A and B are shown apart, each in its own frame.
Chain A
Amino acid sequence: MDRMKQKVSWFQTPTGAMTAILIMYLIMVPGKMIPGLMFHSPLLEADAWHQTSDILTAILILLGVQVGNSGKTKEHIWGKSGIEPFISLGIGLSLGFLALYEIGLKSVFGIILVVSPGSLEQIKVIPFLPIPELVVMETTPRLISALVMGVSALVLFRMSRFQIGVGKKYARRLIEDDGEETASDGRLDALAFAGILLQVFIPSFGWIEYLCGLGMAWLMLGTAKGIVTDAWKKINHAALDAETTEFISGIVNRHPGILGFTVQSYWIATCMVVEIKAIRPRLTEGLKDVRQALTEQIGTFLEERGHKEYRVRVRFEEQPFHEDRVAYLISERNGREIVGGTVSDLMRVLICDRRDSTIFRGREEETTPEEIGALLLEKRIGSFNVFCLNDVDLRMFEDCLDGTKIPVVQAPSFRLNIVGIRNSDALAA
């Protein structure tokens, strides 16, 4: 029973709806083009050409829907629906162009032609200007043209409602946007229908068609602006405003152990994704709890702000290691091994590899005061560490390393464990 309830007609799916729209345009284009050519109606001809571009748009959206549905991978958890804002942007821009050029400018020229028929003769030579032809048609062709436009307007209105409904149901903004574009086409056809009818009954009122066209262009520009702005926001990943992002940053910052982070937000289809990239210390076990707590806290905050569909992704990056190599002077004093001594004690050095200033590996090398400079250069030593009793000793070591640019660093303690040498497992072994 449930299965039957869930069964939906194929035409009510995104792919089905766009296929229906495509079929509609494929019928509509010859349906307008043939009478347009037969009756020399520029209105029908222009509309047929305009709807040819709608066929291309429908094909593009169908492809977009297919790409969006496919390829659900680890990286594209909602499929590749990220492509949709780009197609929406294209629809919005073409709608804006249609409003400005095809309708707005044409209406302006139409009004000028009606008011002063000969005034546009000089600019007619400029190519691509949408100057309408004032053709006087017979009553019967006019009525047939009006009928075609009327039926077309009704079909377009009905189909746009269907398209928007499917778009909303499947949360596919792309189809909703195209539905808006279809509705605009319907409004244009309705306007043309009204204009032609008006010309049939009151031939002197032909200009009113163009005045209405200007109003329609204004409305279409509004719709186009909305679609373009929305798509641009999604492309720019600006899902959250600066204040909300700052608040989320505050939540993240309160968690001990997070050494640094960035907050990004973006849309995937209708789902808002908040992505936290945090730098963590080298500890893995407790991170599960940090991730869980962060996800819960940010989720609660987003729900309080009215966001229903969201996903919080917390990604940890390990703090990068800093590795270097240093040398320690090791000598004996009162029968005990110590870090340091004087130049005369310079017989062996301990060369240590450090990771984040902690020694993890080391080996001893025999040397003399004359050879130490060359040895430390060969081993690529960053600094020579020695516990000196006074400044004179320190300067003598500096003289030994003269010309190498290797600094002599005063170790704070003579004890091997205090300077970290005996803390290293590698060295202890």
Chain B
Amino acid sequence: MKKTGNGPNIGFIFRDTPESRSEAFFAAELVRHFGQSVLYVFIDVGSDPMEDQDLLVEEEQGIIRTIQQWIGTKSYGLMRFTILRIDLKTYAIPKNMLVISNEFGNMRKEANVLSPAYEGTLCARGEGEVLIPLGTRDSALRTVEIGLPLIAAMGFEKVVFYHTTFRDKSVMSDDPSDHMNESAREILESAEEAADQLGLFHRSIPAMDTDVARGINLAAQRISSPLILMGYGDKIWFGWYPDALRKITLVPVMTIGRY
């Protein structure tokens, strides 16, 4: 992963829990990777913000002290913390913000979220190919338009487009690519074109999985992918694939919100 300074703003949701601690570490590593100096800290104050200034000032200092202990002394002089007291359910997360959280993606679909799963840092296990499952037109469009530049900005150089297709009963072949319809081919072509423009090496894996989320997870494990990138679609039928995937996977998942 080469270093880049064009990344999005990185934030995480502070709670005094071990999950939040690992998310803070993951977020701080990304901030460092992008060469940025600010880590955004969200505090969920709900719909009833406290107005006791003494408490608020003391809390801010306490939270910063705690985060500094969590992420290590290396960042003390280099990283600044911007605390945002928000209602997580209603706050409009800016488009250029990437929230590091395992839970937030399930709560809000209008935000770019990176769920680190159980990983301490991105690419701690070496560089690899980012798996990009391409779904319906709207989700794929978001993935390509917003997600791919993010991936390039993060310094990844290789991506794998993964397309799950239904079996076309009129086709006898066992090759999944023969079962892809015109729309899927167009989506794949536009994704490949976008990857070319960003200078990303790419390849594609078509598949026919009965369980889409599991198929994506298995594909990610097979190529030892450090990250899965997915976009949320406009329509929902039986739940979202990114949500289903997050439940089962141990690979970090970055979802592009429905802006």
Interface residues of A (CB under 8 A from B): 251, 253-259, 280-281, 283, 285-287, 289-290, 292-294, 296-297, 333-334, 336, 338, 356-358, 387-390, 410-415, 417-420, 423
* Measured CA separation A259–B56 after assembly (Å): 37
A39 to chain B, nearest CB (A): 75
Query: Which 7 pairs from chain A and chain B are nearest by CB?
Result: A257-B250, A293-B221, A254-B224, A412-B66, A286-B248, A412-B62, A289-B218
A417–B59 CB distance below 8 A: no
> Which one of B47-55, B136-144, B156-164 is at the interface?
B47-55
Interface residue from A255, A258, A290, A418 paired with B44 (Cβ < 8 Å): A418
Cβ-neighbour of B250 out of A286, A297, A410 (below 8 A): A286
Among B62, B63, B217, B252, residue most surrounded by chain A Cβ atoms (within 10 Å): B62
Which one of B9-17, B187-195, B235-243 contacts A?
Answer: B9-17
The 16 sampled A-B contact pairs (Cβ below 8 Å) are A253-B126, A255-B224, A255-B250, A256-B250, A286-B250, A289-B218, A289-B221, A289-B249, A293-B222, A387-B58, A410-B62, A412-B62, A413-B59, A414-B55, A415-B59, A420-B16
Q: With A333-B55, A417-B15, A423-B15 known to touch, is A255 a contact of B221 (CB < 8 Å)? A: yes
Q: Is the CB of A413 within 8 A of B63?
A: yes
Number of interface residues of B (CB under 8 A): 39
- At the interface, yes or no: B128 with Cβ under 8 Å from chain A? yes
| Chain A residues with CB below 8 A from B250, complex form | 255-258, 280-281, 283, 286-287, 290
User: Known contacts A283-B250, A292-B221, A412-B66; is A257 also within 8 Å of B117 by CB?
Assistant: yes
- Which of chain A's residues have a CB closer than 8 A to the CB of B15? 417-420, 423
Residues from chain B with a CB closer than 8 A to the CB of A285 are: 247-248
For residue B16, which residues in chain A have a CB less than 8 angstroms away from its CB? 411-413, 418-420
User: Which B82-139 residues sit within 8 Å CB-CB of chain A?
Assistant: 117-119, 125-126, 128
A279 to chain B, nearest CB (A): 11
B33 at the interface (CB under 8 A from A): no
Q: How far is the CB of A383 from chain B (nearest CB, A)?
A: 13
Contact B125 A253 (CB under 8 A): yes
Q: Which residues of B contact A358 (CB under 8 A)?
A: 17-19
- Are the CB atoms of B224 and A389 closer together than 8 Å? no
CB-nearest residue of chain B relative to A417?
Answer: B44
How many angstroms from the CA of A257 to the CA of B66 in the assembled complex? 26
Q: Which of A283, A289, A388, A419 has the most CB of B within 10 A?
A: A289
Task: Name the interface residues of B8-52: CB closer than 8 Å to any CB of A.
Answer: 14-19, 43-46, 50, 52
Query: Known pairs A289-B217, A296-B222, A423-B15. 7 more at Cβ < 8 A?
Result: A259-B118, A280-B250, A281-B118, A297-B222, A389-B54, A411-B16, A413-B43
Cβ contacts under 8 Å, A256 to chain B: 117-119, 125, 226, 250-252
Task: Give the residue of A254, A387, A412 whose beta carbon is less than 8 angstroms from that of B125.
Answer: A254
Q: In the assembled complex, which residues on chain A have CB atoms less than 8 Å from the CB atom of B217?
A: 286, 289
What's the nearest-Cβ distance from chain A to residue B149, in Å?
23
User: B174: shortest Cβ distance to chain A, in Å?
Assistant: 19
A338 to B48, CA, bound (A): 13
Chain B, 211-256, CB within 8 A of any chain A CB: 214, 217-218, 221-222, 224, 226, 247-252
- Give Cα A336–Cα B62 distance, bound, in whole angstroms: 20
Name which residue of chain A comes closest to B61, CB basis. A412
Q: Does B65 contact A (CB under 8 A)?
A: yes
User: Is A414 touching B59 in the complex (CB atoms < 8 A)?
Assistant: yes
Q: Find the A residue at minimum CB distance from B247.
A: A285
Q: Which chain B residues lie closer than 8 Å to A336 at the CB level? A: 50
- Distance in Å from the Cβ of A336 to the closest Cβ of chain B? 7
Are B62 and A387 in touch, CB under 8 angstroms?
yes
Cα A13 to Cα B198 in complex, Å, equals: 66
